[in-house]
């Protein structure tokens, strides 16, 4: 796509592909994924044409010379200048790895994690059916995963019944208690819950403890950078008040 291709000319001013791309960056993020779609681009090109046409109409009517227009433009000018100045004030804030690790070591209580289990399950509506599936697994007719894909009514059947890793409070109590009490690799059930009857196979367990630094490093960096940016902002603001605020 030629970025300089002229898509329309409004009041003597060209609208190029590059102009339209810039305009599309201002639309809601969930719509930006369609930016390459020709129909989507045509719709927004029509909006650009409308904006430019009405802008020229407003200029022809002399709105730029009104006090109201000048007041709005002055406020916008100040807002943009302020944002540029704020960005210049905070953009150098950075956090080194040793700072992040120091914070991690001094605040490990903030990164504690509860115990978790990694489990698979098979869910059916009838206890007798559940017992029959268990027998077919125990006598070697099917693996747990094949039985889940064939018989489970839970969407996790597509992954062989795999629910991934979860902690306490994420599952209904009867299921949670059975999963946390089960031995790794052994099948327990039928376990009745409000959803039906479950067979549960625990693949692994993790004890409660402190999350490793690598797992929470991004969270720490973001928090410390935000703190430094806020400190830089407030320090500069106090300086500016001393310089510009009339008492």
SS3 content of the chain, % helix, strand, coil (to 5): 55, 20, 25
Backbone angles phi, psi at 112, to 5 degrees: -75, 140
In contact, 200 and 179? CB cutoff 8 Å: yes
Helix 144-151 / helix 127-138 crossing angle, nearest 10 deg: 150
- Express each pLDDT in 190-205 by its tens digit: 999 999 999 999 999 9
- SS3 for 96? coil
Least confident of 27-36, 179-188, 215-224: 27-36
What is d(CA 45, CA 17) in angstroms, rounded to the nearest whole number?
A: 9
- Residue found under tokens 């210049």: 88
User: Is residue 30 very low, low, confident or very high in pLDDT (cuts 50, 70, 90)?
Assistant: confident
pTM for the full predicted model: 0.60
- Looking from the CA of 4 toward its CB, the CA atoms found within 13 Å total 0
Which tens digit of pLDDT belongs to each residue from 81-123?
999 999 999 998 999 999 999 999 999 889 988 899 999 999 9
Rg (CA), the chain: 31
Q: How large is the average pLDDT for residues 133-160?
A: 94
Q: Rounded distance, CA 90 to CA 163, Å?
A: 43
pLDDT at 236: 95
Output the CA–CA distances (angstroms, integers) from residue 183 to 92, 201, 205, 239, in the order listed. Answer: 52, 9, 9, 63
pLDDT at 37: 84
> CB–CB of 20/44 below 8 Å?
yes
Q: In the predicted model, is pLDDT for residue 33 greater than 80?
A: no
Q: Side by side, which strands form the sheet with 187-193? A: 162-167, 116-124, 196-206, 187-193
CA distance 18 to 4: 6
Beta strand 187-193 with 112-113: parallel, antiparallel or unpaired?
Answer: unpaired
Q: How far apart are CA 22 and CA 16, in angstroms?
A: 10
> What does the pLDDT read at residue 6?
94
């Amino acid at each position: 796509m030629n970025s300089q291709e002229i898509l329309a000319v409004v009041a003597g001013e060209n609208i190029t592909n590059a102009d339209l791309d810039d305009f599309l960056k201002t639309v809601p993020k969930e719509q930006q994924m369609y930016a390459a779609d020709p129909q989507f681009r045509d719709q927004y090109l029509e909006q650009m044409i409308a904006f430019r046409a009405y802008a020229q109409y407003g200029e022809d009517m002399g709105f730029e010379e009104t006090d109201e227009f000048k007041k709005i433009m002055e406020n916008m000018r100040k807002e943009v200048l302020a944002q540029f100045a704020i960005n210049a004030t905070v953009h150098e804030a950075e956090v080194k790895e040793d700072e992040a690790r120091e914070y991690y070591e001094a605040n490990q209580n903030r990164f504690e994690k509860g115990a978790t289990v990694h489990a698979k399950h098979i869910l059916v509506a009838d206890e007798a059916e559940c017992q029959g599936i268990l027998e077919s697994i125990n006598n070697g007719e099917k693996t747990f995963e094949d039985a889940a894909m064939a018989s489970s009514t839970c969407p996790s059947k597509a992954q062989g019944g795999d629910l991934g890793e979860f902690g306490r409070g994420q599952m209904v109590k009867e299921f949670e208690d059975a999963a946390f009490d089960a031995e790794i690799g052994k099948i327990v059930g039928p376990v009745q819950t409000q959803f039906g009857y479950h067979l549960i196979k625990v693949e692994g367990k993790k004890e409660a403890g402190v999350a490793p630094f690598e797992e929470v490093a991004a969270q720490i960096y973001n928090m410390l950078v935000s703190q430094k940016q806020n400190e830089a902002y407030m320090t500069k603001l106090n300086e500016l008040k001393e310089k510009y605020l009339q008492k």
